[in-house]
Every structure is written in structure tokens, then in C-alpha cells.
Amino acid sequence: GDFNEALKGLVDENNSSRIENEYTGILEGKDIYVIHYESAQNFAMDLSFGDGEVTPFLNKLSKEGLFFNNFYPQHSIGTSSDSEFTFNTSLYPINNGTVFIDHSNKEYESIQKLLNEKDYYTMSMHGNNGDFWNRDIMHENLGYQEFVSKDSYEIDEEVGLGLSDESFYKQSVQKIKKIKEEKKKPIMAKLISLSNHYPFDDLKTYGEFDTGYLEGSDISNYLKSFNYADKSLQVFVEEMDKEGLLENAVILIYGDHHAKISTEDYEKIYNYDKDTDTVLAKDDPNYIKVNNSYLKQVRKTPLIIWSKDGSLAKKVEEPIGMVDVLPTISNMLGVFNPYQMGKDIFNVEENTVAFPDGSFIDKDYYYSSSTSELYDIKTNELLVREDLDEDITPVIERIEQRLELSSNIINNDLIKYYKEFLKNETTKTKVIDGKE
Ligand code: GP9
């Protein structure tokens, strides 16, 4: 019916925009290690205090790799699980529930399934309970051949929600090593980190990290936690290297969503005066309250594709969303998902990042659907739509249509029916061919 027509439109559009570019196939056959980096936010990468940068190791990787510094996760209420879902499928999360929980019985096309067909071994690893976010069911559905969770790890050191990142990474490297030896094929392994999680109160385990004028605030605790997670990530990369696992591999890092940090705490950073080393008082006439546009941008998370030889090094400024990651990396890996909602970032001139609530960001604007406010993305100034040269109504409408199509695919299991429809079409053609 109508749904299939809309899906057919998407498939046709995706097929016709499949273009070779300088990145096509460059990762074919390489091992891909994906770090799902809990609550990693971009702004912290730019901060440094008495003890130096908050995330020196992540910063190093961002300089040596392909660094998307305007990357936005597009999660809804399913937070971590939504980001995983969108990364895996290039579909948007739904608004009235959580795909991982409510739609785990539907059929999806995923990066794992595409790589499985290319004889990859695909797996995911996490130090938390396997049924958290219904992962044990959903990871299998999404095509991971193996999901290693809490029961397979020795819980020898705990931070926040459970097994510490450092121990998790160390044990994971040994598991990866064993699997590489056994399977003798390219591997895609996703490692879901855990330590950098709210409420960021495990200060003793994080270790010393001076946050200067922020000391004592929640954001300070977040930065200490992130600094800990950064040191753990460094352990992971160094151990992988020691085991010789980085020679024909890339590490892809994405921040899954923003952390719970109060607006007031962001304002501390915004209203900090370097010369006097003080934060402006709240009643000071120069005190600046941050608005929605600022908050949307300060909640950006990193996206990095890194290889040991540094050959990918480049900064990509174009706005990119989680939904665009699969189209972009699948072109690099030489696979293709016809049901993707996102775009290969290297094949678009200007990208628009849509959020599940209908808000969007592009190179000029941030539009908030809940308030219908439009902001200048660079100055965070509120704009008057009527005063603009261009009309953004068609952009808003197109986004609504795309989100509706994505939700329909999920709610009505359209990929399954579409695949059946395609199979029938092929059989029909064969019968006709047979008669001729
Ligand atoms: C739990 C971890 C955190 O296993 O992924 O989930 P979140 O609270 O970030 O959605």
C-alpha cells in the first residue's frame, strides 16, 4: 500500500544517490572496533586546567583521525539504546517508546548484517547485564553473531554503573585477540563503555584531576569522570597495539548522548573570565544565560574514525547526525543499505541533521520544534522567520515526512514486507522469463 510506496521511494532515492567518492572501499576487509563512548561530549575536549587537558588521549585521536566536530547523536527517550539503534540501522528512534524494548521483534537492515554477508565476524561487548536495554535480544536481531556481557567478565574493579572501563577494555582486548586467532576473518566489534555515566560521583576511583574554578560543581565531577574514561581508552588502544591488533584496523568512536549536566553549570563555563580567574556573579549585568541553541550545540558528542598510520587525518566541519554514520562508513566498507534514512556525508554538499522531535540543525540554523524557535547557529541569536530571505517551512515539512516514514518502517515491520515483496517480484519475473 502507501507505506510500501513511500519505502520504495526511499530505496530508489538511496540507490540513485549511491556515488563513489575518495572514501569508497578504503576500509574494505579491515577490522572495525567501535567504541560506544558513554556520555562523551565535545566541549570537554576543548577544556584544560592545572592538570592539562580533560581528554588528552581523545584529543590525540581526533587529530590523527577523521574527526567530525559537528556530530549530533539523534536519540530519543531510549538514550544509549537509541544511539546504538540508529548507528546500526540508519533509522531514527521512535518518539512514543523505545525501539530496543518495544520493537525488538521487527526486521532491520544493519551494518552487522551487511558485514556478515562479507564474511566478517561481528560482535558486541559490554560490562553490564545482557538484558539492560533488552540488548541480548536486540543485538542478535541486529545481526551481531556474538554478544559478550557482564557474565563473561571478571568484575574485579567497579566504577559507577559497574565494571570499570579500564578493566573492561583490558579483558576485551584478550577476548578480541582470541577471537581473531580462532575465526581468522575480519571482525567488527562494538565495545560499549560504562564508566562515564551519571551521577559521576566515584571521585576516588577517577583519580586526581584539577578542574580549577569548576571544583565542587556537578560539571567538575563530570570532567573528572571523563578524564578517567579517557585514560581507560588510552589503555585500550595501547593494549590493542601491543597485541598487534591495530595493523589492519580502524577504531570508530562515537559519543552516545550528552550527560546530565545543569544549564547553570554550563553557564559557569560561559561566564568564566580568564583574566580574573572568576565566574561572573549571577546578578552581574554582564552575566549571560545560555539559550536552547547553545545547549543543543554544547551537547554535541565526538565522532572519530582513527587508524594507527594517521592516514585518515582530517577535520570535517559539516553537521552530521548518527543516522548518517552507517551510509558514510558503509561506502568506506564497500557495503550498502538501501533502507537507510541518512546520507553519506562525503556525497552531500550541505547536510541537515534532523532530530526525532522534528527539530533540526544545518550550517545556518537551529530550529527547535517544541518552541518553533529558529536560531542563528553561529551566534545563537533568535531569528524572526518572516525576516529571512528563505522559507524554512519546506525543510520542516520534509523532516516530518522522513521521520514519519522511519517510524512507519519500524512500527509496521516494513523492511520485512518489502523484502518479501522483492522476492515475489523476482519469482514473478523468473516465471515470465521461463515462459518466454
Ligand atoms: C547501560 C548503559 C547506559 O548499559 O549503556 O545506558 P544510558 O543510561 O546511557 O541510556
Write the pLDDT tens digit of every residue in 160-199.
Answer: 889 999 999 999 999 999 999 999 999 999 999 999 999 9
Taking the CA of residue 80 as reference, the ligand 1 atom at the shortest distance is 10
CA 228 to chain centre: 21
- CA count, 13 A, side-chain hemisphere, 356: 25
How far apart are the C-alpha atoms of 378 and 248, rounded to whole Å?
Answer: 39
To the question of whether residue 256 is assigned a binding role by annotation, the answer is: yes
Task: Report which protein residue has its CA nearest ligand 1's atom 7.
Answer: 80
- CA count, 13 A, side-chain hemisphere, 273: 10
Does residue 358 sit in helix, strand or coil? coil
Q: How far is the CA of 343 from the centre of ligand 1 (A)?
A: 27
Residue 160: per-residue pLDDT: 86
Residue 427: per-residue pLDDT: 82
Residue 196: per-residue pLDDT: 97
DSSP 95: S
Task: Report which protein residue has its CA nearest ligand 1's atom 10.
Answer: 80
Residue 65 has pLDDT above 60, yes or no: yes
pLDDT digit string, tens, across residues 361-380: 999 999 999 999 999 999 99
Instruction: Indicate whether residue 128 lines ligand 1 (CB < 6 A).
Output: yes
pLDDT digit string, tens, across residues 34-44: 999 999 999 99
Instruction: Indicate whether residue 79 lines ligand 1 (CB < 6 A).
Output: yes
Instruction: Indicate whether residue 14 lines ligand 1 (CB < 6 A).
Output: no
* Residues contacting residue 306 through CB under 8 Å, at least 6 positions apart: 61, 64, 65, 66, 250, 251, 252, 253, 312
Instruction: Indicate whether residue 132 lines ligand 1 (CB < 6 A).
Output: yes
Bridge partners, residue 190, by sequence: 34, 124
pTM: 0.96
Q: How far is the CA of 335 from the centre of ligand 1 (A)?
A: 29
pLDDT band at 84 (very low <50, low <70, confident <90, very high): very high
Residue 5: per-residue pLDDT: 87
Rg (CA), the chain: 22
Going through 297-404 in order, the beta strands assigned E by DSSP cover 303-306, 314-316, 320-321, 353-354, 360-361, 365-368, 373-376, 382-383
- What residues are annotated to the active site? 80
Residue 1 has pLDDT above 60, yes or no: no
To the question of whether residue 197 is assigned a binding role by annotation, the answer is: yes
Q: How far is the CA of 239 from the centre of ligand 1 (A)?
A: 25
To the question of whether residue 46 is assigned a binding role by annotation, the answer is: no
Q: How far is the CA of 98 from the centre of ligand 1 (A)?
A: 13
